[in-house]
Amino acid sequence: MDWVSLLSDRRLQGSGASFTHESRNPFETDGDRIAFSMEWRRASGKTQVHEPDMAGLPVRTRGTHSLEVSRVGRSLGQNVAGTILARHNLLDTVSLDALPSIISSAGLAHDLGNPPFGHAGEWAIARFFSRNQELLSKIPGRLRAEFANIDGNAQGFRILTKTAGWRKTGGLQLTSATLATMAKYPFSAEYCPKPWGKRKYGFYGSESNLFAEMAANVGLEEILPLRWCRHPLVHLLEAADDLCYSVVDTVDAALVGDLSHIEAIELLMPLLPDGESSYRHLTDPMSRLEYLQSKAIGRLVKDSSEAFLDQEQSILQGTFPGDILMSLPVASQLELIGRVANEKIYNSPNRKIREECGDEVIVTLLTALCEAHMERERTGRPIPSGQAGDVLRLVYDGQELHKLGDNRYQWVRSVIDRVMSMTDAQATRIATAIDPDLRNRLELKISNSRPVSSQPLSQF
């Protein structure tokens, strides 16, 4: 692969290269389009690890996490841009701010496809369709597998290239370089090892032609049909994503009480630059954690930049075997943080209860919507009478119902589009309107959980 093609500013579906603007490059325009989109605003109401505004605590949401990844990605791009362009004699033809702008925009967009309630929402949707195979019986097998193996990455590509924005086609009309940098899994669902479990893939069959067009624009090598090698900047975006949640999930866990402040400090301290210990003069516990967070991220950004430059040749050849963070000197500490997070954060009793609540909300929505659409099929009426029609009007909330599609594949896809776009609060509000008894069941579950922040920061 070569950098001139990899930094292509061509937009999809025949719109050609981006317009020229004297004060910003086309990749910055991508970031503007993402940040002002309805889909990005919804991200602030979606769970990252803990539900938004958990007991009034300022925990990360999908929106704040994406913003942090965007900023870290921008720093990584700034660190490597000069060296990369100089190595390939591109300093006179490519702007130094191209690489950081691409990664920054991709960071803003990388989680747009995630449903309410975090990854638990993905699992809930996958389980629902894997247990309702009769519902999918009229859908071709290859496409059917996507519904029982739903993936936020593929949903994100669909949003950006098709469903978002006001244009009739093309979604937000982002540059090919930004879309390719967001594509951490540049292959279709058929390359996943089993129907549902490890779900990661990058695009649905409905957008495979758009992905192929994007891949051609930036010069990605097609390894097999519907499977390409990664864009090199994916490795930096992935590093930004992974180092953010490794560090900040630890901080948020101390905030809500899943970890003690001593545990959080002991996990973060080995990530600091050598000799860095001036946090000890800070007495406020949140100031200590924020200091450690800042220094740990700074060190990881520096080391990741250097590792990327060291591995550039194998990355361009598509042969780099792993991820950047696991090649760093602190890889073993990052693995330890991952094990602790899996045990004490991602599988904490509180989080399990909240996931069960999210699962009930998702299943309520999917059940009611699919039953309503089945009634459309049986009656041949765009909006059936009775409860089915009431559900459709409630869930689609003024959207043009005649665009929902008449065949099974189209309307199942429309159901997933709608449910995955919802915020946690919106999904809960609509589900409890459909099933009023659901609210009591959710409140009972939550009442059985312990209060968050059982060791308030003021006691550290």
| pLDDT for the residue 300 | 96
Tokens of 133: 């195979």
Mean pLDDT of 404-413: 84
User: Is the pLDDT at 369 greater than 50, yes or no?
Assistant: yes
- Give the C-alpha separation, 431 to 116, whole Å: 12
Which residues, other chains included, contact 444 with Cβ-Cβ below 8 Å and sequence gap of 6+?
Answer: none
- Give the C-alpha separation, 263 to 460, whole Å: 12
Residue whose C-alpha is closest to residue 424's, from 360, 358, 352: 358
Burial 149-178 (b: 16+ CB within 10 A, else e): bbbbbbbbbbbbbbbbbeeeebbbbbbbbb
Is residue 429 within 8 A of residue 340, CB to CB? The reply is no
Q: What is the pTM of this model?
A: 0.91
Q: ∠ CA(325), CA(331), CA(336), 5° rounding?
A: 120
Residue 269 phi/psi, 5-degree rounding, is -55, -45
Tokens of 54: 């958990």
Mean pLDDT of 56-66: 86
Dihedral of alpha carbons 10, 62, 239, 148, sign: negative
User: Is the pLDDT at 144 greater than 90, yes or no?
Assistant: no
User: Is the pLDDT at 398 greater than 70, yes or no?
Assistant: no
* 250-259, 351-360, 421-430, 450-459: the lowest-pLDDT one: 450-459
**pLDDT digit string, tens, across residues 252-311:** 999 888 999 889 999 999 999 876 667 778 888 888 889 999 999 999 999 999 999 999
Using DSSP, state whether 91 is helix, strand or coil.
coil
* 4-8, 51-55, 107-111: the lowest-pLDDT one: 51-55
Is residue 83 within 8 A of residue 309, CB to CB? The reply is yes
Mean pLDDT of 243-247: 92
| pLDDT for the residue 458 | 39
Mean pLDDT of 372-398: 85
Rg over CA atoms, the chain: 23
Is residue 46 within 8 A of residue 114, CB to CB? The reply is yes
* For the chain, percent of residues with pLDDT exceeding 90: 56
Mean pLDDT of 324-330: 94
**pLDDT digit string, tens, across residues 162-184:** 988 888 778 899 999 999 999 99
Reported confidence tier of residue 456, pLDDT bands at 50, 70, 90:
very low
Reported confidence tier of residue 429, pLDDT bands at 50, 70, 90:
very high
Using DSSP, state whether 193 is helix, strand or coil.
coil
Polymer length of the chain: 460
User: Is the pLDDT at 313 greater than 90, yes or no?
Assistant: yes
**pLDDT digit string, tens, across residues 72-96:** 999 999 999 999 999 999 999 999 9
Is residue 297 within 8 A of residue 247, CB to CB? The reply is yes
- Give the C-alpha separation, 284 to 269, whole Å: 17
| pLDDT for the residue 54 | 66
- Domains (ranges, CATH) in the chain? 3-232 (1.10.3210.10), 238-345 (1.10.3410.10), 349-447 (no CATH)
